[in-house]
């Protein structure tokens, strides 16, 4: 089973991290975190204890 780590940074508060086991849910969390004011939100696959390159990035209001 996959596991996805969402890291939000560049906000007014501290950096935040969430995990989800579904990529679509992780994307939704990333999109919502960007609307909360975080400058950069990235989604990584952490299956097997290894962190992948960013699979999904929200930079301001533009998703890459």
Helix H, strand E, coil C: the string for 4-57 is EEEEEECCCCCCEEEEECCHHHHHHHHHHHHHCCCCEEEEEECHHHCCCCCCEE
pTM above 0.85, yes or no: yes
What pLDDT, in 10s, does the model give residues 34-50?
998 899 999 999 998 89
What pLDDT, in 10s, does the model give residues 2-24?
899 999 999 888 999 999 999 99
């Amino acid at each position: 089973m996959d596991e996805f780590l969402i890291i939000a940074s560049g906000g007014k508060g501290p950096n935040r991290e969430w995990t989800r086991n579904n990529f679509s849910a992780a994307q939704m969390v990333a999109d919502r975190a960007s609307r909360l004011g975080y400058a950069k939100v990235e989604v990584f696959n952490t299956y097997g204890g290894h962190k992948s390159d960013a699979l999904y990035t929200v930079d301001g209001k533009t998703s890459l």
